[in-house]
Amino acid sequence: MNSNPDLAGETRAVRALAALAQTSRLRVFRLLVGAGPDGLYPGQIADALAVSSNLLSFHLKELHHCGLITQEREGRCLRYRADMDAMRQLMEFLTAHCCQGESRVRMPAIDCSALAG
């Protein structure tokens, strides 16, 4: 297995991990994963996490920018969803490039397709 991961994959992983390294963004992402393919509107997220809409907007922008969530315009509203394919790619990258050769790490197969809709 190649010990030098491709730069694009490495850059995507760093951006995603940096975004998730902030508590509020991790909570938003976890909530959206739990919401499944229906996703949530910003007001629903703000209510569930008791955060202001301004702060939530910043966190949603960061998660969207790194590719972990998607947004879809519905009239005047935006619906946000966790991008399960991006999460799967991140897990695969970490497993392939950060855990390789470590006999103590045995990652089960990850199937996020059921959540992706």
105 occurs within a structural domain: no
Place of tokens 């991140």: 90
Residue 97 binned pLDDT confidence (cut-offs 50, 70, 90)? confident
Residues 25-77 have pLDDT tens digits of: 999 999 999 999 999 999 999 999 999 999 999 999 999 999 999 999 999 99
Could you tell me which of 37, 47, 111, 19 has the C-alpha nearest to residue 80?
A: 37
20, 29 contact by CB (below 8 A): yes
**21 is in which domain, residue-wise?**
7-99
Identify whether 2 is part of a domain: no
Residue 47 lies in a domain: yes
Total length of the chain: 117
In a domain, 64, yes or no: yes
Note the pTM of the prediction, 2 decimals: 0.81
Contact 59, 86 (CB under 8 A): no
CATH number at residue 66: 1.10.10.10
Percent of the chain with pLDDT over 90: 68
Q: Which of 30, 102, 108 is nearest to 63 (CA)?
A: 30
Domain contains 66:
yes
Instruction: Answer yes or no: is 78 within a domain.
Output: yes
Total count of domains within the chain = 1
